[in-house]
Amino acid sequence: MTPSIEEKEISTVLQSFPSLQMDEDKRRDIASHIRRERELLIQMKRRKKYAKVIGGVAASFALLFLAYQWMPSEGTPSVPSVQQMNAAESKKAQATETTSQADIVLTLDSQIQEYVEEAIHKTGKAYQPENMTVIVTDPNTGEILGMGNLKRPTDKVPHIVRAIPDPVAAFPIVTLAAAIEEGKYEDNEMYDSGTYEITPGKFIKDHNNGTGWGQITYLEGIQRSSNVAFAKLSERIPGDSLQQYFERFGFGMKTGTEQINEQPGKIPNMDTPYDKAMAAYGLGGSASAVQQVAALGAIANGGELMKPHVTKEERNHVDKGRRVISEETAKQVREILEAVVNSRPGSDTAFSIKEHTVAGRTGIVEKRDQQGNFIEGKYTYSFIGFAPSDDPKLLVYIAVDNPNTDLWVGLWGKEIVAPPFKEIMENSLQYLQHR
């Protein structure tokens, strides 16, 4: 008997998430649910505009909420049991606990997932990017509440675990945290911005062609995304300590999330002062979206690195993460990232939202070819941020890959990345507040 389209989709999801296990009868049962759901959606003319939004898990996972199998705990017999959906609880799978089995549920929230898909659809329609990736998490637990991509990967590496060169949004945040933790940073200390000769013949330039803004405080430098500020901070962090901080925050290693073929990324070379300075503001090395989400999550939650995950045991217990910085350092970084978004001369004020303060940072980087050379005129725009900044409930990562636009690159992609971020964050916070 030839598998149906729906059964093939289920198989694809299960291959991507080995921790999900399902027998053939269960697959056929879910496939029938999927067919009925799709027919209903078509009749209601709902979600038709999202037809091109392919999240790797978005469409199939939303339907897998309908029926999900118990996972046996270690040393117990594998006796499957059907779980029934509870629509009143945001369509998350529920079941009665037993002493012999661990009740595994999905962390994805169907409403937040819908916000993600709608934002991807709008951005894709407006700018026709090569791709777009979105992840929404609870930074306090590492739970992934929503995620999606505009297009499927051409290989077997899901976009959220694919290591992308030059993570210019996340790496500078780690540099800042390291400098604060080591006692090498003061908000009001002055430095000369613009162009800095870090070693003879090697120059670090700020993004306005090295002009800078004269003598400014380090806080203003961070607000303006000054490369020179991060380069000077990197010089103050002794020996190989900066590399060790990158490792602490989970870069250069797999997060352990459920998706297959996760790439560990690469911590940049820091052998020379110039290389170290470049790494400090995000050039060199590589990191996946899920690594960056985990790293900023540690800032948001008070200093603990949590493993991003889409499945969990249904119990009143939150696994503790690994402490990477002190609570005091995390608090100070949060306040600085809040200033980046919410006060002048912050470079990311376009990302502020109604009713809540946001903390975060943009990134713009020229794309590289397979040989590692920059591709002129092709950019990836990203933003990673959390809110409320003083009591984070949600963290949102957005990356838009080479959008088709005539907007000046110096705008940092705000016109492209800010609208979907604000839409997802505002709607999701309002939804959680009234849930």
> Quick check: 143 and 303 in contact, CB under 8 A?
no
Q: In this predicted structure, what is the pLDDT of residue 103?
A: 65
CA dist list (Å): 24 to 7, 58, 290, 352? 9, 22, 31, 48
Q: In this predicted structure, what is the pLDDT of residue 78?
A: 26
> Quick check: 314 and 380 in contact, CB under 8 A?
no
CA–CA distance, 133 with 151 (Å, rounded to integer): 9
Q: In this predicted structure, what is the pLDDT of residue 68?
A: 37
Q: In this predicted structure, what is the pLDDT of residue 13?
A: 67
CA–CA distance, 403 with 23 (Å, rounded to integer): 42
Q: In this predicted structure, what is the pLDDT of residue 318?
A: 63
CA proximity to 86, closest of 314, 316, 426, 319: 314
Query: In one letter, which amino acid is 435?
Result: R
Enumerate residue ranges in the chain where pLDDT < 50.
44-101
Domains of the chain in start order, with CATH, are 5-106 (no CATH), 133-434 (3.40.710.10)
Q: In this predicted structure, what is the pLDDT of residue 8?
A: 74
> How long, in residues, is the chain?
435
| The model's pTM | 0.80
CA–CA distance, 388 with 357 (Å, rounded to integer): 5
173: left (phi over 0), alpha (psi -120 to 50) or beta: alpha
Structure tokens at 87: 């629509």
Q: In this predicted structure, what is the pLDDT of residue 155?
A: 84
Structure tokens at 434: 């009234």
Query: In one letter, which amino acid is 6?
Result: E
